[in-house]
């Protein structure tokens, strides 16, 4: 899964967080584990689009104070 983001206000991003790439990756990993952990393996595979949408919404809610706009995630399959 890939996540792309755009910095809206570089000064705000740098002021609030030191390593934006690591912060996005850590946040996304936590949200993915939480979402996937709620489901059985069969459900994860059969509901891939729904899981991706829920992850997008949760990540978008988690990052607005970082002055970035998300452009993903996108499934690699």
Domain-by-domain residue ranges, the chain? Answer: 5-70
What helix, strand, coil percent values describe the chain, rounded to 5? 65, 10, 25
Cα dist. 35→15, 18, 39, 40, 70 in Å?
30, 27, 7, 11, 18
CA 73 to CA 70: how far, in whole Å? 8
Cα dist. 1→12, 32, 70 in Å?
27, 10, 13
pLDDT score at 15? 67
pLDDT score at 77? 46
pLDDT score at 72? 58
**Does the predicted model carry a pTM greater than 0.85?**
no
pLDDT score at 49? 87
Q: Mean pLDDT of residues grouped by 10 in the chain (77 residues)?
A: 75 74 86 88 86 84 78 55
Q: What number of CA atoms fall less than 13 Å from residue 54's CA on the CB side?
A: 14
């Amino acid at each position: 899964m890939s996540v792309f983001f755009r910095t809206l206000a570089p000064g705000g991003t740098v002021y609030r967080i030191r390593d934006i790439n690591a912060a996005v990756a850590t946040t996304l990993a936590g949200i993915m584990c939480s979402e996937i952990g709620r489901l059985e393996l069969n459900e994860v595979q059969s509901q891939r689009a729904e899981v991706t949408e829920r992850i997008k919404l949760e990540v978008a809610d988690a990052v607005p104070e970082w002055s970035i706009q998300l452009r993903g995630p996108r499934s690699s399959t």
